[in-house]
Amino acid sequence: MKWNGFLTASILAFTVAGAAWSEEEKVLYFYNWTDYYPPELLAKFEAETGIKVIQDGYDSNETLIAKLQAGGAAYDVIVPTDYVVAGMIKDGLLQPINATEMSNFQYVKEAFKDPEFDPGRVYTAPYTWGVTGIAYDSAQVTGGELEQSWGVFFEPPAELEGKIAALDIGSEMIQAAAIYLGLPQCTESNDDAAKIFALLEAQKPKLKMYSADSTVDRMASGEVAMHHLWSGATARAHEIKDTVRFIYPKEGTPMFRDNFAMPVGAPHPENAKTFINWMMAPENAAAVTNGIAYANSIESSEYLEDRWKNAESVNMPPEFADRLVPTDVCSPAAQELRDKIWTRLKG
Amino acid sequence: MSATSPFRRAGLVGPALLVVLILVGVPLGIMAWVSLLGRGATIGVDWQSAPSFANYTKLIWEEDFDGTLLFNPTYLSILWRSVWQAAATTVICVALGLPVALWMSSLSRGARDIAVLLITIPFWTNLLVRNYAWLIILREDGAVSKAANAVWPFGPVQLLYNDAAILIGLVYSFLPFMILPIYAGFEKFDWRLLEAAYDLGANRRRALTRVIVPLAMPGIIAGSMLVFIPSLGSFVTAAILGGGKSMMMGNLIQLQFGQSRNWPFGAAISVVLLALMMLVLMGIAIWKNRQERKT
């Protein structure tokens, strides 16, 4: 109790001191996925606001959460994906930013204004979105075209065997396999798990590797002919090698929506809000898409470069909209089964 | 030396002991405690759960997909692969490191310093970057792969994304840890001992096995520990050069703390790995003790 009192007093003291300070230091700690923000846009933000951005990178939502939970990490803006947001709010890792009250919120696309993972956009603002599908090199395929199905990846034609890369991310692989087999993503049934495992095990010898790094290079250099891949990475590979194509699998195409959020304990909350609002300006949102080839969630098509407007993997053809499948949040029991499948696959 | 009072001794050793206790003992204790708990709902640890050995039994016994409890060889096979890879790495490092260290010690003083510098230069670059470099070197359309395929008569050779690639990466990464301790031993090597061996009628082979290797033994043991232990826990090489197809212990632990979000299980595997390494170290210590008593 005494300790608590001391803590409250010191927090109060700091708050008062902070208020007296009023002007925040012109710095922003930005914790983002690696290679997921165009560097020249950061320079523009720094020039326009005078806030210096220090960026740090992570490779998965789990890394992000682990770092926040461990404490001691002081970040102002983070980029969590849809399926982890609700849990992070529940665990008290995020603080409200009230994105709807920001001046640029008006430009947000209707579909992203009130998502199920953060009703009313209290804690998050939309960044980019994309899908996980299949990239392939049409030059290495007889006939130059493949069926729009997960089947070509999980049960590939003989000519592609040994030339396929899968994402080294258990959740992505198991989700795709479950969708292909028509099973629930977060199945808690042993029978379903056994089916998923059998599919993945039979696929393994036909794969060249599992990897989620340097995917663009791998696809563009022709090291593999097919890659379980994200839409944006495929678009960038297509820029380098124009025979690269993208498949939105008809059985269901997992979709991800990435968001800006502010963790509890952010040292520069005002700068964070400035940044998040700035990012919702159409011109800046478009610069993201132009730079990293992921579609953004802002009405910004007038600023998009033509090469991305015409790229199927960036600008999804509207008829594929009903193929999009959001990522479910798995129960601990379902997660346990996923771990079992993934560990056995690689054991 | 005059006899120091126990208090004085305690006072001198105390700070160091305290540091070790706080910085090593406490974290290890937390890890061991966490390994007995259940996983948190979203991530991390459920601190309220009742402690049990479930995470340890899970390593050997597992519920199958059909619900029956059965012996689960998955983790043991991962462990076996790690031990095998680490042992092979150590043996290859000795085979490559001993001649290099011997040659280095035969150089002139200035040349020796340059050689030591050259061996340590790779450490200036991050391990991850060096592993990526091997990815480029061994690539299918790379020069090494083409040369190997030109020489090798039995069908195409795949240099990447298999156990051999992991082994190459591990040997490359840890070879300096073998060369340097052996070289440190050889540095003060009295070459007259070798001459004496020849004078007494030893042939080259005998001189090597009876003089050089025994004298290099402390260095080889130190180097082996420095190579074996980090190889056992490595995960970057397996993920990058092995193509993520088969896990090592390091990858398994990383998976638990990352994607699987099962920290208690990760802690349990870490405890097991740690115990294993302790056993190896203790084995070496006992063996060394016996050797010394013999001589």
- B40 neighbors B276 (Cβ within 8 angstroms): no
What is the residue whose two structure tokens read 């302790």? Answer: B278
Q: Is A210 on the interface with B (CB under 8 A)?
A: yes
What Cα–Cα distance (Å) separates residue B223 from each residue in A249, B170, B181?
Answer: 52, 14, 6
pLDDT the model gives residue A10: 47
Q: Which of B37, B39, B42 to mutate to test the interface with A (most CBs of A within 10 A)?
A: B42
Closest CA to B212 of B98, B118, B48: B98
Tokens of A128: 């980019």
CA dihedral sign of residues B228, B232, B236, B242: positive
The secondary structure element, H or E, covering residue A19 is: helix A2-21
Residue B269 in contact with partner chain A when CB distance is under 8 A: no
Q: Give the residue from B31, B37, B43 with the most A CB atoms within 10 Å of its CB, the best one to mutate.
A: B43
Q: Tell me which CATH code domain A131-254+319-346 carries.
A: 3.40.190.10
> What distance in Å separates the CA atoms of residue A339 and residue A337, rounded to the nearest whole number?
5
Question: How many beta-carbon pairs under 8 angstroms link A with B?
Answer: 96
Spatial CB neighbours of A188, under 8 Å, sequence gap ≥ 6: A331, A333, A334, A337
CA distances from A334 to A191, A270, B207 (A): 12, 39, 63
B162 vs A: CB within 8 A? no
Whole-angstrom Cα distance, residue A67 to residue A17?
28
Q: Where are the domains of chain A?
A: 24-129+256-316, 131-254+319-346
Task: Record the tokens describing residue B273, joined without a space.
Answer: 């790995």
- A296 Cβ contact list (under 8 Å, min separation 6): A126, A127, A128, A129, A285, A286, A288, A289
- Report the amino acid identity of residue A342: W
pLDDT of residue B3: 61
Is B184 contained in some domain?
yes
- pLDDT at position B202: 87
In a domain, B26, yes or no: no
Strands (E), B47-123: 61-63, 69-71
User: Which residue matches tokens 């933000």?
Assistant: A45
Residue of A nearest to B244 (CA): A210
B240–A69 C-beta distance less than 8 A: no
pLDDT score at B26: 94
3-class secondary-structure state, position A308: helix
In this complex, which of A193, A194, A346 lies closest to B246 when CB atoms are compared?
A346
Digit-by-digit pLDDT tens for chain B (295 residues) are 456 688 888 888 889 999 999 999 999 999 999 999 988 776 678 888 889 998 998 888 877 777 677 788 889 999 999 999 999 999 999 999 999 999 999 899 999 999 999 999 988 889 889 998 998 888 887 788 888 888 887 777 788 898 889 999 999 999 999 999 999 989 888 888 888 998 998 888 888 888 888 889 999 999 999 999 999 988 889 888 998 888 999 999 988 988 888 889 999 999 999 998 899 889 888 988 887 787 6
**Inter-chain residue contact A66 with B43, CB threshold 8 Å:** yes
Q: What values do phi and psi take at B48, rounded to 5?
A: -85, -10
Our CA-based measurement puts residue A332 at a distance from the nearest CA of chain B, in whole angstroms, of: 6
Q: Is the ipTM beyond the 0.90 threshold?
A: no
Asked whether residue B206 is domain-assigned, the answer is yes
What is the rounded distance in angstroms from the CA atom of residue A339 to the CA atom of residue A170? 8
> Would you put residue B189 in left (φ > 0), alpha (ψ -120 to 50) or beta?
beta
How much is the pLDDT for B42?
67
- Closest chain B residue to the Cα of A204, Cα to Cα: B245
Range of the structural domain that residue B147 is part of: 82-294
By the 8 A CB rule, do A53 and A45 touch?
yes
Helix (H) or strand (E) holding B288: helix B263-294
Please choose, from the candidates A86, A89, A107, A44, the residue with its C-alpha nearest in 3D space to the C-alpha of residue A296. A107
Domain tally, chain B: 1
Sorted by sequence, the CB contacts under 8 Å of residue A183 that are 6+ apart come out as A192, A195, A196
- Pure H helices in chain B: 6-20, 26-34, 54-57, 73-105, 109-120, 127-138, 143-151, 163-187, 191-199, 204-207, 213-233, 236-240, 249-257, 263-294
CA distance linking residue B226 with residue B217, whole number of Å? 14
Nearest to B265 by CA among B16, B41, B37, B15: B37
DSSP letter (8 states) at residue B6: H
CA distance A347 to B79: 9
> Is residue B14 within 8 angstroms of chain A, CB to CB?
no
**Domain A24-129+256-316, what architecture?**
3-Layer(aba) Sandwich (3.40)
User: Which residues in A lie closer than 8 A to residue B65 (C-beta atoms)?
Assistant: 190-191, 193-194, 197, 340
Q: What is the mean pLDDT of each run of 10 residues along chain A (347 residues)?
A: 45 44 81 92 96 91 84 89 92 94 95 93 96 96 94 96 93 96 95 96 95 90 94 92 95 96 95 97 95 92 87 85 91 88 91
pLDDT digits (tens, 9 = 90+) for B56-93: 988 888 777 776 777 888 899 999 999 999 999 999 99
Residues of B in contact with A91 (CB under 8 A): 42-43
Interface membership of B233 toward A (CB under 8 Å): no
CB-CB: which of B39, B43, B62 is closest to A62?
B43
| Any domain includes B56 | no
Cα A254 to Cα A106: distance, rounded to the nearest angstrom: 27
List all residues of chain A from 157 to 196 with a beta carbon under 8 Å from chain B.
168-171, 190-191, 193-194
| A267: Cβ contacts below 8 Å, ≥ 6 apart | A29, A74, A76
Do B247 and A87 count as a contact with CB atoms less than 8 A apart?
A: no
Span B9-39, pLDDT tens digits: 888 888 999 999 999 999 999 999 999 998 8
Inter-chain residue contact B259 with A60, CB threshold 8 Å: yes
Q: Could you tell me the CATH number of the domain that includes residue B131? A: 1.10.3720.10
A299-322 b/e (C-beta count within 10 Å ≥ 16 → b): ebeebbeeebeebbbbbbeeebee
Residue (of B226, B96, B81) closest to B162 by Cα position? B81
Tokens of residue B265, six digits: 């299980």
CA distances from B228 to A331, B74, B89, B90, B119 (A): 39, 22, 7, 6, 19
B50 located within any domain: no
Locus of tokens 């509207």:
A318
**Which residue, A80, A64, A76, is CA-closest to A26?**
A76
Instruction: Kindly list the residues from chain A whose CB atom is less than 8 angstroms away from the CB atom of residue B141.
Output: 221, 223
- Look-up of token digits 């002919």: A225
In a domain, B34, yes or no: no
Do residue B42 and residue A207 have CB atoms under 8 angstroms apart? Answer: no
Asked, colleague to colleague, whether A24-129+256-316 and A131-254+319-346 share their fold, the answer is: yes
